[in-house]
Amino acid sequence: MKKINKSEARFLLKQMMEIRKFEEAVMDLLARGIADGGSHLYAGEEAVAVGAMAAIRTDDYITSTHRGHGHAIAKGGSLPHLMAEILGKQTGVCKGKGGSLHLADVSQGNLGANGVVGGSLGIAAGAGLSIRLRATDQVVLCFFGDGATNTGLFHEALNMTGRWSLPVIFICENNLYGMSVSVERACAVTDLTQKAVPYRMPAECLDGMDVLAVREAVARRVAAARKGGGPAFLVANTYRYYGHSRSDPRVYRTREEEKNWKDRDCIEQFAARLVKAGILTQAEVDECDRETAAAIAAAVEFAIQSPDPAPEELYRDVYYEAEEGSIYA
């Protein structure tokens, strides 16, 4: 614990709490019929997004997934405007046109959550290529799940990134199941780090329930990529607490397995370590919890009170139209 100071500790703890409570609030809104539509909740996996994002700068890019609320929050999205987007409101980060499956504030360098498993890996490679051609020292964090590693685009994008040595850190959030099908049932090779080997990039496995372990590994890979060291591949072992989506009865996994993971909960574990190391007191941890709860309650209130999009929004943003003049002038 010596590598972390008090303000960093508070930041990481609070951000994980924000994500957890955000997801609990979404679940509650769904249950009460205030929210509808799809929702793939990130609860349980918070240490991955928070640890990874703590290792990059605001001008770096990420690509996200269908389970992207945590990435959107950790990449600097505003809680009220993210929650408003969940409800499809005009004040949402996507003006109510994206929703849970497309929850991302592109203006913050989040190049998109994605409704297609593995759909964003090419975008990540392209952002990496753009960094190369523009000669900056930015990096891309490309998040995806274990399920995506069996798609064609995964292999195309890793090959392209490896061949061109682009500054992309691939972060596989291995939560053990692609919807219901386990890694064992889906993958010919279950050690997912092996999937990076043919593409000439270093790979390592890390504890995705440990925010500091994630931060350390990502920071190390990012530092190398900024100096032209090329891509890397990280497999963060983690677990989603809820089912794949709201309608999932979780028949493919046991309650015992769920308990074992929850016993290692990333937030409780981190808070306990901080208290034990004397970095935060229990009272300070409780204060973080209260502040976060208040912020989420305010976000929910903002979202509920926000107006629906105006009908004229329907056709807006399909195409970019120049505000003034035209390229043919």
Pairing of strands 181-182, 177-178: antiparallel
Separation between Cα atoms, residue 95 and residue 117, nearest integer Å: 23
Residue at 273: amino acid letter: R
From the list 32, 58, 133, 256, which residue makes contact with another protein (rule: CB under 8 A)?
133
From the list 119, 208, 230, 231, which residue makes contact with another protein (rule: CB under 8 A)?
119
Instruction: Tell me if 92 contacts another protein by CB under 8 A.
Output: yes
Instruction: Tell me if 60 contacts another protein by CB under 8 A.
Output: no
Instruction: Tell me if 323 contacts another protein by CB under 8 A.
Output: no
Instruction: Tell me if 30 contacts another protein by CB under 8 A.
Output: no
Stretch that binds another protein, among 45-53, 158-166, 172-180, 289-297 (CB under 8 A): 158-166
Instruction: Tell me if 212 contacts another protein by CB under 8 A.
Output: no
Separation between Cα atoms, residue 1 and residue 295, nearest integer Å: 28
Instruction: Tell me if 322 contacts another protein by CB under 8 A.
Output: yes
Pairing of strands 140-145, 168-174: parallel
Which own/partner contact pairs does 310-318 have at CB distance under 8 Å and 24+ positions apart?
A: 310/90, 313/90, 313/95, 313/96, 313/97, 317/95, 317/97
Provide, rounded to whole angstroms, the least separation between the CB of residue 309 and another protein. Answer: 10
From the list 22, 42, 61, 144, which residue makes contact with another protein (rule: CB under 8 A)?
61
Closer of 97 and 273 to another protein (Cβ)? 97
Question: Applying CB under 8 A, what is the total number of residues that bind another protein?
Answer: 50
Q: What does the buried/exposed string (b/e) look like for 251-277 if buried means 16 or more CB atoms within 10 Å of the residue's CB? A: eeeeeeebeebeeebbbebbbebbeee
From the list 58, 319, 323, 325, which residue makes contact with another protein (rule: CB under 8 A)?
319
Q: Please, are residues 53 and 74 in contact by the beta-carbon 8 Å criterion? A: yes
Instruction: Tell me if 44 contacts another protein by CB under 8 A.
Output: no
Separation between Cα atoms, residue 278 and residue 111, nearest integer Å: 38
Kindly give, in sequence order, each residue whose CB lies less than 8 Å from that of residue 149, ignoring residues fewer than 6 positions away: 118, 172, 187, 192, 195
Closer of 130 and 269 to another protein (Cβ)? 130
Provide, rounded to whole angstroms, the least separation between the CB of residue 328 and another protein. Answer: 5
Provide, rounded to whole angstroms, the least separation between the CB of residue 216 and another protein. Answer: 27
Stretch that binds another protein, among 86-94, 235-243, 245-253, 257-265 (CB under 8 A): 86-94
- DSSP line for 179-236: TTEEHHHH-SS--GGGGGGGGT--EEEEETT-HHHHHHHHHHHHHHHHTT---EEEEE
Q: Which residues bind another protein (CB under 8 A)?
A: 61, 63, 92-98, 102, 104-107, 111-112, 114-116, 119-134, 152-153, 156-157, 159-160, 163, 316-320, 322, 327-328
